[in-house]
Structure 1
Amino acid sequence: MHLLNLGILAHVDAGKTSLTERLLHSVGVIDEIGSVDDGSTQTDTLALERRRGITIKSAVVSFAVDDVTVNLIDTPGHPDFIAEVERVLGVLDGAVLVVSAVEGVQAQTRVLMRTLQRLRIPTLVFVNKIDRRGARGEGVLREIAERLTPAVVPMGEAVGLGTRGAGFVPGPLAVDVLADHDDDLLAAYVDGSVSYDGLHAALVAQTRQALVHPVYFGSAVTGTGVRELIAGIRELLPAADGDPEGPLSGTVFKVERGPAGEKVAYARVFSGTLRIRDRIPFGDAREEGRITAISVFDQGADARRESVPAGRIAKLWGLADIRIGDALGELRKTHGHFFAPPSLETVVVPGPAADRRALHLALTQLAEQDPLIGLRHDEVRQETSVSLYGEVQKEVIQATLADEYGLDVTFRETTPLCIERPAGTGATAEFIKKDDNPFLATVGLRVAPAPVGSGVGFRLEVELGAMPYAFFKAVEDTVRATLGQGLHGWQVTDCTVTMTHSGYWPRQSHAHQGFDKSMSTTGADFRGLTPLVLVEALRRAGSQVYEPMHRFRVEAPADTLGALLPVLAALRAVPQTTETHGDRCVLEGVVPADRVHELEQRIPGLTRGEGELEAGFDHYAPVTHGTVRERPRTDHNPLNRKEYLLNVTRRVGG
């Protein structure tokens, strides 16, 4: 029995969840097909998902096709929940990308396909809704080839488009596309000796290597084309690999809370076998936890097991401190983040009767399930901020807090989530018992710019043996934590921090007496002094605030261009290219992230409802308009030495 972990991905409303229902019905897992509109589907189990008719959390369901067991993972289609998709991609063996025959290739479709190709995940394309009015066949296939990938292999054609009787007729394979990746096949094609078996073998091999992407047409509502898609899933996508006897290695891609509030981790096992009562290391800190229960997915239901071997997906109980993204057993090389980080944030405002402690706990639990909901708590102002991808995510957080926790909240205006980068190089040092340094530590640091996208690097210009390693570690950890808030309150990135000076007082004790703290350096001295040195070095370097910018693409009637351009200018959008194709025009450019939602709302009215907008994070740009955006600090404020020392040491040096 082969295993296949399959993802279903799409732009929102392309019919992804409906296709999941049809697949489950076709293989006999469910007797009746659920409806997204009625909230009766197998994978949209949250009350909020059923109410809104969109997928918010990934869900797993299993079914068998002959000798292949498929773990099917239904993922969200709305771009606000792209983080949920990101976590799933790392555990897939193959994917089905759903495209609407009516709307065609959409913004999220392009984002998903680019990522699938970058990760070389074997992918089939299913053009859904061929029975809907306005459905297109050749037009959508042309869009896929032009806007997603030219390496598409149509598996047939759609007939009766736009009618209830629309169907899918299998057809001959595109030899030219397959021959592009196979010299032997090209030679056989030229001399006319291509056989069906050779062509089919090339299709299987190239699909499994993610070199080509077979395209099917059909309808999740009527079921046409789904039987052929199932055959393609079975024949063309690769089985999960992994040695059940090898060292344990797995990844957690989802965490939820059980009925009693316990954590339940969803994990893919890549190597080895996981058993109940096993003690396993997990996470970056290599904590250990004991597995108390295991369940696997089997024919649409969960089934308890004593163990789970390589290749399978399982739900695990007993790991109280587990987090999404944690490695189980041996650490595996990962691809890092696939999608852009959140570019917006907002302050959560509790209602008059809301318990602030309960709200903080609820938000913490939501952040466990979605680590990219970055929480930022301001003790002074008693405020909590959350990072976001968009306005729909904000509405979902609000509804989840009301439905699951009974907490009534509102939000302040959404603002851009900026970053800071050093403007130059700055350095300083403080020495033990000199000037007004109250800490028994010497720390010198230099801050310098680094390449865009490099994050934060930490280097040493002092000998590693100059003091205990724990003190160097205390400095590095504190540097990274302190850079969470720069001169203007934003996270500082793309910089290199070099330790230029170090010094400490060795452990001292009087004869026959215990340890004397007043004469001995501890890690707390380095953790206390480092923020003061670092922000002074950063102050000397200077920092520039950058705001997130989205790349946009607007396609609209050409005669509406005159109405569009002034609005784009008012939103600080900068069109970079303008093309006209017949009676349609296409504008591409960049727009500040916090103006995208307003642009989405304005497009229909400006274009008689015919305009289409694609937008997604592109880069950070220096803030050059108006005053520099400031963000309130939530730390002990090392920018104010007196205030900082009062907070940290309760004594003022000098």
Structure 2
Amino acid sequence: MLNLGILAHVDAGKTSLTERLLHAAGAIDEVGSVDDGNTQTDSLALERQRGITIKSAVVSFAIGDTTVNLIDTPGHPDFIAEVERVLNVLDGAVLVVSAVEGVQAQTRVLMRTLRRLGIPTLVFVNKIDRRGARYDGVLGELAAKLSPAVVAMGAATGLGSGDAAFAPFDDGPAFAASLADVLTEQADALLAAYVADEGSLSYARLRAELVTQTGQGLAHPVFFGSAITGAGVDALMAGIRELLPAAQGDPAGPLSGTVFKVERGPAGEKVAYARMFGGTLRTRDRLSFGEGRAGKVTAISVFDGGTAVRRPEVAAGRIARLWGLADVRIGDAIGRPGKHGGRGHFAPPTLETVVVPGRPADRGALHLALAQLAEQDPLIGLRQDDLRQEVSVSLYGEVQKEVVQATLMNDFGLDVTFRETTTICVERPAGTGAAFELIAKAPNPFLATVGLRVEPGAIGSGVAFGLEVELGSLPYAFMKTIEETVRETLRQGLHGWEVVDCLVTLTHSGYWARQSHSGGVFDKSMSSTAGDFRNLVPLVLMSALKRAGTTVYEPMHRFRLELPPDTLGPVLPVLARLGAIPRTQLSSLVEGEIPAARVHELEQQLPSLTRGEGVLECDFDRYRPVRGPVPRRPRTDHNPLNRKEYLLHVVRRV
């Protein structure tokens, strides 16, 4: 069993390669075409219309006695969230590169992540039949831009023609020498043996070392071919079987898995896609997932022979579709976390926009539809503004916005438009601030004592909650309510942006125990409830935050711009006007950072500035303090910064 991901820059040919692999393995009778909209994995109507992959899809086929679950992922950077979830469940990957365009922006982002996670990766250089296809040039780019440890596994002939072919190298001295050059760089023991034997290592030992280093994510074998004609695909399949490690996991061990996709079935029921890392899950098992949620599995299907087949159980190493888990979410751990622990590998979205229904009467239906989309893609963050009756969504780019618009029309019959896209900033505490309010002491109208201190945390630390009161000083339910309300309140800071990287400490606590009248009837007027703490915490926390002060930070992208030398002069003033800061500047290369808010504008202007020859790579780098006027985001709550307004809404009195 092998769970394999197909990844690439958009239009490199991932989905076409998936079709060719399925056909070569005998799983389908005819190869589908992206242009014709009849591929196995692009099943959404929108994917067929646009000819791009939007959602990851799973198919299965066999190579000899190895069952491969193949996951086709989107290539467009706007849908990087789909790729992120797949990385958590892979045993290996095939990174597809175009023989014409070579290494592109998204190719580099993907390879950096694959190498960081140690995911074994083969490279397939596609489209050798296309005019302009290259062999030596692409190998050079792979070594220079992706990894120096790339190993060409054969030679390509007839480049740029319908007769283009790939011939794997045999065990001759030339291939053995190239293997030794790459592999000895990664293994000291092999290098010592190479020196001791005066450069004569057996081909069998080199081949075994190639398998080992590929399995460790150190070396990357490279195959050339064409998904359209099938050239080189047999060699790639042999490489997948020999060089990539099989799925690990003990079917008799503790249950462990990760949910990487959620979709809706024909009746609207949730269907969860889960990779099992350990144990065996059976129909009618009741299991825990996520943070304290649970459900009973009512049906299971596994991928086999190119399709999903119902089974009574699923064991470690396999991917399954699970029914019955109504509260399941993408990223949930089943039992023990998987090998990558569900961590995020790419930056969060840095853009947002307000979705406006074509008819005011559709507001309720729009919110339900967006909630369902966010269920399938948690990085489409919803922000409900009840005061203005508006919903915002967070996005990676303009293409994603177009897809959301088309999906709402096609799947839900909702005609929507969008306001102008804005950048998502964050706030961080500038100093330390504290505040407290005591029970039965004016101006506190709630039966609760709460004291909080806010101070800066380390960059990237998120929000940490600590105690300076005894753990037993409050009932657990009240303590839990305080922490949950702190995290909820910090979603909107002094300027309306989410507050990150801070430590909030509970410094004071107190409550009135449950009391009743002589008749045994509970009396709310003399007993504290969770609602008292839920209402008081925002007032105390925002008072502490005001005393600490906050700084607003904007997202910055690092960029790499390759361009013709004679266009550098016109490009530099544009970069300066957009707020870009060059760090490296050569005649044909500029590297630096640029505010995320200006990336789209640069992308639009670049073709005319560089005669269409400029190549721009951008990805999130860091947050920096905003320069100039501080941007504010409209609040969506009852504004605990304004005590009078807040109390009017919460308790209907001041």
TM-score by shorter chain over 0.5: yes
How far did 1:37 drift?
A: 1.1
Find out whether 1:547 has 2:548 as its counterpart: no
Q: Give the letter aligned to residue 261 of structure 2.
A: K
Find out whether 1:528 has 2:535 as its counterpart: yes
Give me the whole-angstrom Cα distance separating, in 1, the residues matched to 2:429 and 2:186.
46
Partner of 1:428: 435
Q: Give the letter aligned to residue 176 of structure 1.
A: D
Q: What's the CA shift string for 1:153-198, capped at 9, x where partnerless?
A: 1112222222222222222242121122333432343324311111
RMSD of aligned Cα (Å): 1.3
Report the secondary structure of 2:563's partner residue: strand
Aligned pairs (5 A) from 1:366-405: 366-405=373-412
Partner of 1:249: 256
How far did 1:380 drift?
A: 1.2
Partner of 1:100: 98
Report the secondary structure of 1:359's partner residue: helix
Give me the whole-angstrom Cα distance separating, in 2, the residues matched to 1:230 and 1:100.
18
How far did 1:272 drift?
A: 1.1
1:538 to 538, 541, 545: 545
**Between Structure 1 and Structure 2, how many residues are aligned?**
644
Give me the whole-angstrom Cα distance separating, in 1, the residues matched to 2:208 and 2:646.
69
Partner of 1:648: 650
8 A Cα contact 1:354 1:408, kept in partner = no
Partner of 2:630: 628
2:281 to 263, 274, 279: 274
Partner of 2:592: 589
Find out whether 1:177 has 2:175 as its counterpart: no
Comparing 531-540 and 544-553, the one that deviates more: 544-553
Q: What's the CA shift string for 1:338-384, capped at 9, x where partnerless?
A: 00000000000111376111111110100000000000111111110
Aligned pairs (5 A) from 1:584-623: 585-623=588-626
Partner of 1:24: 22
Q: Give the letter aligned to residue 320 of structure 1.
A: A
Aligned pairs (5 A) from 1:167-566: 167-171=165-169, 172-173=175-176, 174-190=179-195, 191=197, 192-285=199-292, 287-332=293-338, 334=341, 336-352=343-359, 355-566=362-573
**Sequence identity percentage:** 73
Report the secondary structure of 1:143's partner residue: helix
Give me the whole-angstrom Cα distance separating, in 2, the residues matched to 1:246 and 1:574.
53
8 A Cα contact 1:7 1:94, kept in partner = yes
Q: What's the CA shift string for 1:484-525, capped at 9, x where partnerless?
A: 000111100011111111111222223342222211112111
Give me the whole-angstrom Cα distance separating, in 2, the residues matched to 1:562 and 1:401.
44
Report the secondary structure of 1:29's partner residue: coil
8 A Cα contact 2:333 2:342, kept in partner = no
Comparing 201-210 and 159-168, the one that deviates more: 159-168
Given the two structures, how large is their TM-score scaled by the length of structure 2? Answer: 0.97
Comparing 29-38 and 184-193, the one that deviates more: 184-193
Give me the whole-angstrom Cα distance separating, in 1, the residues matched to 2:155 and 2:479.
65
Give me the whole-angstrom Cα distance separating, in 1, the residues matched to 2:247 and 2:430.
48
CA spacing shift, 1:332–1:611, aligned 2, 3 Å: closer
8 A Cα contact 1:428 1:536, kept in partner = yes
Comparing 108-117 and 332-341, the one that deviates more: 332-341
Q: Give the letter aligned to residue 430 of structure 1.
A: E
Comparing 553-562 and 128-137, the one that deviates more: 128-137
Report the secondary structure of 2:327's partner residue: coil
Give me the whole-angstrom Cα distance separating, in 2, the residues matched to 1:352 and 1:635.
25
Q: Give the letter aligned to residue 527 of structure 1.
A: R
Q: What's the CA shift string for 1:576-611, capped at 9, x where partnerless?
A: 21013xxxx101111111211111111111001111
8 A Cα contact 1:419 1:492, kept in partner = yes
8 A Cα contact 1:546 1:620, kept in partner = yes
Give me the whole-angstrom Cα distance separating, in 2, the residues matched to 1:332 and 1:235.
25
In structure 1, list runs of 5 or more residues that go unmatched: none
Give me the whole-angstrom Cα distance separating, in 1, the residues matched to 2:561 and 2:286.
54
Q: What's the CA shift string for 1:99-151, capped at 9, x where partnerless?
A: 11111111111111111111111110111111211212111111111111111
Partner of 2:172: none
Give me the whole-angstrom Cα distance separating, in 2, the residues matched to 1:212 and 1:62.
26
Q: What's the CA shift string for 1:446-473, capped at 9, x where partnerless?
A: 1111111111111111121222222221
Report the secondary structure of 2:586's partner residue: strand
Give me the whole-angstrom Cα distance separating, in 1, the residues matched to 2:152 and 2:97.
14
Given the two structures, how large is their TM-score scaled by the length of structure 1? Answer: 0.97
How far did 1:621 drift?
A: 1.3
8 A Cα contact 1:251 1:325, kept in partner = yes
Give me the whole-angstrom Cα distance separating, in 2, the residues matched to 1:423 and 1:161.
60
Give me the whole-angstrom Cα distance separating, in 2, the residues matched to 1:29 and 1:247.
33
Q: What's the CA shift string for 1:285-329, capped at 9, x where partnerless?
A: 2x2211111111111112111111111111111111111111223
Q: Give the letter aligned to residue 613 of structure 1.
A: L
8 A Cα contact 1:246 1:271, kept in partner = yes
Give me the whole-angstrom Cα distance separating, in 1, the residues matched to 2:320 and 2:216.
26
8 A Cα contact 1:354 1:407, kept in partner = no
Q: Give the letter aligned to residue 524 of structure 1.
A: G
Q: Give the letter aligned to residue 152 of structure 1.
A: V
Q: Give the letter aligned to residue 334 of structure 2.
A: L
Give me the whole-angstrom Cα distance separating, in 2, the residues matched to 1:335 and 1:33.
34
Partner of 1:137: 135
Partner of 2:4: 6
Comparing 315-324 and 78-87, the one that deviates more: 315-324
Comparing 332-341 and 121-130, the one that deviates more: 332-341
Q: Give the letter aligned to residue 247 of structure 1.
A: P
How far did 1:435 drift?
A: 2.2
8 A Cα contact 2:331 2:342, kept in partner = no
8 A Cα contact 1:125 1:214, kept in partner = yes
How far did 1:476 drift?
A: 1.0
1:573 to 574, 580, 587: 580
Comparing 515-524 and 102-111, the one that deviates more: 515-524
Aligned pairs (5 A) from 1:36-47: 36-47=34-45
Report the secondary structure of 2:546's partner residue: helix
Give me the whole-angstrom Cα distance separating, in 2, the residues matched to 1:455 and 1:101.
42
How far did 1:222 drift?
A: 1.5
